[in-house]
Amino acid sequence: MPDYSGQEDSRAEVAMLSHEVYRLTKELEEQQQRQMRESIPDKYDPFDNPTEYKGFSGDYSKILPRITEPAYEIPLEPDYAERKALRKYYSSGSWCIMIHFISCTAVGTLVMRGLMQMLMSHNPAADPSAILTYLRSSSMAASANMLIYLVFNVLIAMIGMKLSGIKYTSLVRTKDFGIGRAFQYCLIAVFLWSVSFYAIMGLNDVFGKYDIDILIDSSGVATSTLGAVILKIYTCIVAPVTEELLFRGMLLRTFSKANQRFAIYATAFFFGISHGNLPQFLSATLIGIFLAHITLKHGSIIPAIIVHIFSNTFVSIISLFGNFSKEAAVIAYLILILLILVGLVMLLVFRGTDGFPTTTPKQAKRGFYVAIGSFPFLIAVAANVFYLVYNLMMKSK
């Protein structure tokens, strides 16, 4: 009888070898696929910057489609196509700021003139200056101002978000934020307010040598009960919510596509200068940098809205110190000093754990240098600067 045991052993050995070859082949294919996937840049973090807040800037493949190709490396300087695509975002955000500036200024002027004409038609013998004084002190001017900025802040923000493809839900998806964080951020806002306050006082002394008073004269504004209430509602609720929607909701995300650090400074600048006067430009720019930072960190405008509401309310309360008795004013100022010191400590702690986004060489070529090539960006900057300087010069007359 033939002995087939040797043949069976050979077949078993061949089968084992075939299985091992198959296994090694599959492992090699998986390794190659894994290496291919790893060689493709992360379209949500294409510059591999660990100091930036991942996911906030959006999908960069919409600007540079080639980053989805295996082993593609982003060049140091953007080519024409990438620069053009990136500039569209800077331009759309800048157009929104420009339209917002023109709309609020023009409509505000027309409404005030319309109200003046209406009052003068009912009181033809009245002095126009007396009518203007009455209009400023009544609730009509405060109501008109609130409605104008409410409408245009929200409308322009929605238009900008549509142009930039920003989803409304992305504005409120808050990460790692609670009562403790809110308390810390509000105290930091107190310290930042104190820094801007003393800076403004110092600048006022400098400008005072040239007979220019840079401080805001709010005397006679909304002195009626209803007017004062409307003004407080606007200052402490409407303005914080709608301004955050416009500047940290729409503009920050639009400008953050390639360089978050540039976006922080650019949006803070536009936020500050949109107020049209030097004191608020300084204070709003400083707090705007912080609000942009916490918006990036938490991926939502909710923390910034809370801090903004607190900051404006806090300043409104500070303005009442002059009405306190001498003893109450002393206690209030001591509490204020304590809050400022605690706010400084909180800021140092925050900066120790949450550093400011830095800029890589590649990102530096895609931030300010691309933005200044955008005509709308330059026009928006120039128009707002001119308006601020114009208002400042008018203070000298």
Q: What's the chain look like in SS3? A: CCCCHHHHHHHHHHHHHHHHHHHHHHHHHHHHHHHHHHHCCCCCCCCCCCCCCCCCCCCHHHCCHHHHCCCCCCCCCCCHHHHHHHHHHHHHHHHHHHHHHHHHHHHHHHHHHHHHHHHHHHCCCCCHHHHHHHHHHCHHHHHHHHHHHHHHHHHHHHHHHHHHCCCHHHHCCCCCCCHHHHHHHHHHHHHHHHHHHHHHHHHHHHHHCCCCCCCCCCCCCCCCHHHHHHHHHHHHHHHHHHHHHHHHHHHHHHHCCCCHHHHHHHHHHHHHHCCCCHHHHHHHHHHHHHHHHHHHHHCCCHHHHHHHHHHHHHHHHHCCHHHCCHHHHHHHHHHHHHHHHHHHHHHHHHHHHCCCCCCCHHHHCCCHHHHCCCHHHHHHHHHHHHHHHHHHHHCCC
CA pair distance 328, 132, nearest whole angstrom:
36
Instruction: Tell me the two tokens of residue 220.
Output: 């006679």
CA pair distance 179, 164, nearest whole angstrom:
32
Tell me what pLDDT residue 44 has. 87
Q: What is this structure's pTM?
A: 0.88
Tell me what pLDDT residue 246 has. 97
Tell me what pLDDT residue 216 has. 83
Tell me what pLDDT residue 42 has. 84
Tell me what pLDDT residue 300 has. 96
**Low-confidence residues of the chain: pLDDT under 50:** 4, 36, 38-39
